[in-house]
Amino acid sequence: MRFDFIKCHGSGNDFPMIDARAVSLDDATWAWVAVALADRAGTVGGDGLLLLTAGDDAHDFGMRMFNADGSESETCLNGLRCVARAGFAALGLERATVRLKTSHASVALDPALAPGVMTIREVAGPVDLDVAHWPMRTGAAQVVDAVIPELGSNRRFTAVAIPNPHLVSFVDAVDEDELVMLGAGCEAAPDWLPNRANVSFVELRGADALFVRTFERGVGLTDSCGSAMAASTYAACRTGRLAFGTQATVFNRGGLVRAEAAADGMVRLSGNATYDYAGSVEIVGSVAGPVQITQTFAVETAAWRAAVAAMAD
């Protein structure tokens, strides 16, 4: 089975993206495609698979995101910007309402973060603090800056769904070994957390900046996770570390976004939607074959790298 795709990334969160508006495949087949294309040892690689899907009466277009293990996520905010860019180009739009798996989001073109960087603003939420909806069975209705005994850690976490479930802990310095240990424990889908969760350690960097490191459900330790950056921004405001309505810069290993959380639970992210190349690939069995590259986007790829280097200084 051959697929045309675009290799893209939002803040270093990279994906193959397929225009699936006219493609009819069942969920099991899309999961198979995601595993083959996202394989880091294969010819494409990525944190998962993005699909641009058809709209309906309430949505201009839709988005689906399959993780590298084939599981489907509620959303991916870094990936949403890339899908939004594709949807805008396909439909001649500059703003849209996008259908997600369990919710929707608003997206719009935004002034460039830096010269040559395609930038899109997305508004997601409201966040959900009721952990019974995950479900997370800890005996508490909400977890805000509190220890979760079931995790086996003394760290304090804030539980936020946007709509992906996130456990956010503010730390003096990120300990990746500890983060992987806690993330892997959640990834094992214990009885108290059957649908798993993303786990993030967050460093405060000055009055209006955060650094987020995430063990992402279905992916593992990742350089970037958009919904984790949104959840971390809201958690910082909810716990008084940042002020609601204040724009923050949120860094990760892959880049950065501008973020702002409102008291009503809505979170705005503004970040890049960068294309690396377009191509096609044949999947045989569970393996993606050689990629035939049809177009490269070297100028915008270089613009993003330059922007990250400048903003990190």
Q: What is the pLDDT of residues 16-59, one digit of tens each?
A: 999 999 999 999 999 999 999 999 999 999 999 999 999 999 99
* 88, 148: one domain: no
Strands (E), the chain: 2-10, 13-19, 48-54, 61-67, 72-73, 95-99, 104-109, 119-124, 146-147, 156-161, 165-170, 198-204, 209-216, 220-222, 248-252, 255-261, 267-272, 274-284, 287-288, 292-296
Fill in the DSSP letter of residue 176. H
**Cβ pair 93, 111 in contact under 8 A:** no
* 55, 74: one domain: yes
pLDDT of residue 14: 95
Q: pLDDT (tens digit, 9 = 90+) per residue, 127-168?
A: 999 999 999 999 999 999 999 999 999 999 999 999 999 999
Q: Considering 8, 82, 225, 237, which one is annotated as catalytic?
A: 225
Rounded CA separation 210/225 (Å) = 13
* 109, 141: one domain: no
Residue 294 has pLDDT above 90, yes or no: yes
* 262, 135: one domain: yes
Angstrom CA distances, 85 to 129, 137, 203, 230, 276, stand at 30, 38, 30, 20, 13
Domain holding 13, by residue range, is: 2-122+272-312
Whole-number average pLDDT of the chain:
95
pLDDT of residue 84: 98
Q: Considering 76, 82, 186, 237, which one is annotated as catalytic?
A: 76
pLDDT of residue 232: 98
Rounded CA separation 36/193 (Å) = 28
Compute the average pLDDT of residues 227-244.
97
Q: Among candidates 97, 83, 94, 79, which has minimal Cα distance to 218?
A: 79
pLDDT of residue 115: 94
* 57, 96: one domain: yes
Domain count across the chain? 2
* 221, 249: one domain: yes
User: What are φ and ψ of residue 194, in 5° steps?
Assistant: -65, -25
Residue 253 has pLDDT above 70, yes or no: yes
* 13, 107: one domain: yes
**Burial readout 118-142 (b: 16 or more C-beta within 10 A, e: otherwise):** bbbbbbbbebbbebeebebebeeee
pLDDT of residue 305: 92
Catalytic residue at 76?
Answer: yes
Q: Give 312's pLDDT tier (boundaries 50, 70, 90).
A: low
* 143, 262: one domain: yes
Angstrom CA distances, 106 to 134, 245, 248, 275, 297, stand at 23, 18, 20, 21, 26
**Cβ pair 104, 98 in contact under 8 A:** yes
Helix H or strand E encompassing 207: none
Catalytic residue at 237?
Answer: no
pLDDT of residue 310: 83
Residues in the chain: 313
Q: pLDDT (tens digit, 9 = 90+) per residue, 163-190?
A: 999 999 999 999 999 999 999 999 999 9
**Highest mean pLDDT, choosing among 205-209, 236-240, 281-285:** 236-240
Residue 313 has pLDDT above 90, yes or no: no
Residue 197 has pLDDT above 70, yes or no: yes
Percent of the chain at pLDDT exceeding 70: 99
* 143, 117: one domain: no
The angle at the Cα of 38, spanning 35 to 43, to the nearest 5 degrees, equals: 110
* 235, 267: one domain: yes
**Cβ pair 138, 167 in contact under 8 A:** no
Q: Does the model's pTM come out above 0.75? A: yes
pLDDT of residue 86: 98
Compute the average pLDDT of residues 81-103.
97
* 265, 276: one domain: no
CATH of residue 38 = 3.10.310.10
The angle at the Cα of 300, spanning 298 to 303, to the nearest 5 degrees, equals: 110
* 117, 204: one domain: no
Structure tokens at 206: 């000055």
